Amino acid sequence: MTKVLVPLVDTSVTELKGVGPKNAERLRKLGIENVQDLLFHLPIRYQDRTRIVPIGSLRPGDQAVIQGQVELADIRYGRRRSLLVRLADGTGSIMLRFFHFSSAQKANMARGAWLRCFGEVRNGPRAYELIHPEVQRVAEDEPAEVEQALTPVYPTTEGMHQLTWRDLTGHALTLLRRGGLQELLPRVVLDEYDMPPLADAVRLLHRPPPDQSQQLLSDSGHPAQRRMAFEELLAHQLSLRVLRQRQRRLGAPRLAGNGRLQKALLDRLPFSLTVAQRRVLDELRRDLAEPQPALRLVQGDVGSGKTVVAALAALCCVEAGYQVALMAPTELLAEQHLRNFTNWLEPLAIEPGWLSGRHKGKRRVRLLEGLADGSIRIVVGTHALFQEDVLFDRLGLVIVDEQHRFGVHQRLALREKGAAGQLPHQVVMTATPIPRTLAMTAYADLDLSVIDELPPGRTPVTTVVVADKRRAEVIERVARACSEGRQAYWVCTLIEESEALQCEAAEDTASVLAESLQGLRVGLVHGRLKAAEKEAVMAAFKTGEIDLLVATTVIEVGVDVPNASLMVIENAERLGLSQLHQLRGRIGRGAQQSHCVLMYHPPLGAVAQERLAVMRETNDGFEIARRDLAIRGPGEVLGTRQTGEMQFRVADLLRDQDLVPDVQALADRLLVEHPGAVKPLIRRWIGQKVQYADV
């Protein structure tokens, strides 16, 4: 009788010996439901238990199996009671240290006993030590029976021991031997890229033979690991391409404006566009004139002038008779855009609408009516624009600012807002530059434009890092700058999550500063002020009626006062790189030299120290993004860690960046030459998450 082979992806982990309801639940929490999932759950590192290491050759940090005879076993009463055992093998000796032990354990390690131990070597007070090693009593002449493969150590969860993992993956590998894990990459591709078949790679990674380089394995640079990362990145890339293809099939309105409104705005601007702005605007206009929905990411450093480019693209859409939605991730940023757009567009007889989550009642109803009947041509708002009851007459263009805080899913939610059977064009603007390879992977469904030039007349900001015990000097410095006619920001950042407490603390800081800076006009702005109050303070700062503006991080975005050339950021160690960069982007907008003082409260952790050093070394947003990525990892940088989007099982965007060009090229090729492989690859690696792709 032949048994029909069930694919491992359809074999529930509960069919494995040792997986009862409890373990099944634990596995499920890690996203492991079937045997294939289990096999894709790769070890984080390996231990070499394949040989017994001479004690004399051990170095701190080594993990090793040793075997020797107990020379001495003693209970010590130091700061903590501990059992100390000296083990020697003729090449040297080492101490075993136990803080918890039973009398049976102690008896087991009596003087003269032969032990085999596994543990990590550390520097002890007098000699090298193993703290709480695994211990096994052996006979003096017992043959060295050791592991045949490197021992995998799995990422785990509470209640799942490494032995259980080894057991389970052992069973899974037995099933794998019978087949059930289909090779999805065409033979020619494997040959061309010199990659092992998937099943071989999986087998090797769970039980690497002792001759495999442990170094390569722990750096995840082993060909088997790269093979799996490659396939996963490929699947991801394919899913975004397929998504993109489907969207394109839906079609979008051609938005070829006549240029009238755009010209009117350009004529009124007090500056002319930079070459980079003009180039990106041209790219946008070309996109908008196509009958397929544009999906374009516009990257540009802080202050590179993305807003005006967005406004011009919006006007292009309005000229063609369609509506525009401009969406920002926070109220404050949305308000800032509204203010800019209103200033620019009112003279052109266009009044932008405004929709935030706070709007209720009549105002909201009126706005919704205006959107539905088409009388509102441009609307600025927050996530509230996604809500179901927001309907447009002829939505032609959606502009999203600060994309990295929105997910793919939200991006797609807006597609329903288009006119029947059509999608609006989408432009995404981000002020946090993302390194190119990362952008190409994270936003593979988007075209990329970069405003890689700042408007003329900006001077780079000089940044210093000082401990907060030098606060008096810093205040002195503020006094000097302001007495010379310049203006300054004092940014308060606090540990408290509560906005109320933050605002209170900013109020305190403001009154203390006003006290010590007699004669200076000190203003205060924070998130709890009413919109009108906030606006009044900002206006006074802009016209120079306020010398020093004390603020919470609400000023991170949008604020634009060229005469402000000094910024003090308190507790700078608590902020991330991109936030620091955004904040600092508020100065350096005028012709005079600007200074940023990053004040920290010691002691400074290693990561914070590195962040502040990066800020001191460079003003280049792209460089900062690269360093940020290295410090925090892609999930954090893209803001997708919480959503789980862009979380790979095997691949690591940072580590595997160099694979991206090949992955992209191969994705293109598969779509044409091996279309049959596409769907299974997506299903294998992305599974449920791509249901959204079924437009």
Q: How far is the CB of 310 from ligand ADP (least distance, A)?
A: 8
Closer residue to ligand ADP (CB): 383 or 586: 586
Site string for ligand ADP, 436-475 (x = CB under 6 A): -------------------x--------------------
Shortest-Cβ-distance residue relative to ligand ADP: 305
Distance CA 608, CA 601 (A): 11
Closer residue to ligand ADP (CB): 327 or 423: 327
* CA atoms within 13 Å, Cβ hemisphere of 603: 2
Q: Which stretch binds ligand ADP (CB under 6 A): 83-91, 109-117, 267-275, 286-294?
A: 267-275
Closer residue to ligand ADP (CB): 99 or 271: 271
Q: How far is the CB of 594 from ligand ADP (least distance, A)?
A: 14
Distance CA 608, CA 614 (A): 10
Q: How far is the CB of 370 from ligand ADP (least distance, A)?
A: 26
Distance CA 547, CA 318 (A): 40
Residue position matching structure tokens 């290491």: 53
**Cβ 676 vs Cβ 225: under 8 Å:** no
CB neighbours of 288 closer than 8 A, spacing ≥ 6?
254, 255, 256, 257, 294, 313, 316, 317, 320, 396, 397, 425
Q: How far is the CB of 318 from ligand ADP (least distance, A)?
A: 19
Q: How far is the CB of 272 from ligand ADP (least distance, A)?
A: 6
Closer residue to ligand ADP (CB): 455 or 576: 455
- The full DSSP string for 441-480 is HHTTTSEEEEE--PPTT--PPEEEEEEGGGHHHHHHHHHH
Distance CA 315, CA 317 (A): 5
Among 13, 73, 121, 273, binds ligand ADP (CB under 6 A): 273
CB neighbours of 396 closer than 8 A, spacing ≥ 6?
252, 253, 255, 288, 317, 320, 322, 323, 324, 424, 425
Site string for ligand ADP, 215-254 (x = CB under 6 A): ----------------------------------------
Return the CA Rg of the chain: 31
Site string for ligand ADP, 424-443 (x = CB under 6 A): -------x------------
- Which two structure tokens, joined as six digits, stand for 286? 């070309």
CB neighbours of 529 closer than 8 A, spacing ≥ 6?
537
Closest CA to 50 of 115, 114, 118, 113: 118
Q: How far is the CB of 432 from ligand ADP (least distance, A)?
A: 10
- The full DSSP string for 506-555 is HHHHHHHHHHHTTTS-EEEE-TTS-HHHHHHHHHHHHTTS-SEEEE-GGG
Distance CA 89, CA 111 (A): 14
Closer residue to ligand ADP (CB): 344 or 354: 344
Among 36, 274, 299, 509, binds ligand ADP (CB under 6 A): 274
Among 247, 277, 553, 594, binds ligand ADP (CB under 6 A): 277
DSSP character at residue 641: T
Q: How far is the CB of 450 from ligand ADP (least distance, A)?
A: 12
Query: Site residues for ligand ADP, window 544-563 (CB under 6 A)?
Result: 560
Residues in the interface with ligand ADP (CB under 6 A) total: 15
Q: How far is the CB of 590 from ligand ADP (least distance, A)?
A: 11
Residue position matching structure tokens 């408290």: 496
CA distances from 9 to 109, 190, 232 (A): 47, 22, 16
- Which two structure tokens, joined as six digits, stand for 301? 């450093």
Closer residue to ligand ADP (CB): 280 or 510: 280
Closer residue to ligand ADP (CB): 94 or 298: 298
Q: How far is the CB of 269 from ligand ADP (least distance, A)?
A: 8
Distance CA 625, CA 457 (A): 24
- Return the exposure string of 246-267: e unless at least 16 CB atoms fall within 10 Å of the residue's CB, then b: ebbeeebbebebeeebbeebbe
- Which two structure tokens, joined as six digits, stand for 488? 């300054």
Closer residue to ligand ADP (CB): 615 or 670: 615
Closer residue to ligand ADP (CB): 277 or 356: 277
Q: Which stretch binds ligand ADP (CB under 6 A): 35-43, 266-274, 462-470, 671-679?
A: 266-274
The residues facing 487 across adjacent strands are 564
Q: How far is the CB of 587 from ligand ADP (least distance, A)?
A: 12
Does the protein bind ligand ADP through residue 581 (CB under 6 A)?
Answer: no
Q: How far is the CB of 405 from ligand ADP (least distance, A)?
A: 15
Site string for ligand ADP, 381-420 (x = CB under 6 A): ----------------------------------------
Q: How far apart are the first and last CA of the chain?
A: 44
Closer residue to ligand ADP (CB): 40 or 541: 541
DSSP character at residue 12: B
Cis amide linkage into residue 603, ω under 30° from 0 = yes
Closer residue to ligand ADP (CB): 253 or 300: 300
Query: Site residues for ligand ADP, window 280-319 (CB under 6 A)?
Result: 300, 302-308
Closer residue to ligand ADP (CB): 588 or 639: 588
Q: Which stretch binds ligand ADP (CB under 6 A): 132-140, 268-276, 436-444, 685-693?
A: 268-276
Among 51, 174, 188, 271, binds ligand ADP (CB under 6 A): 271
- Positions in the binding site for ligand ADP (CB under 6 A): 271, 273-274, 277, 300, 302-308, 431, 455, 560
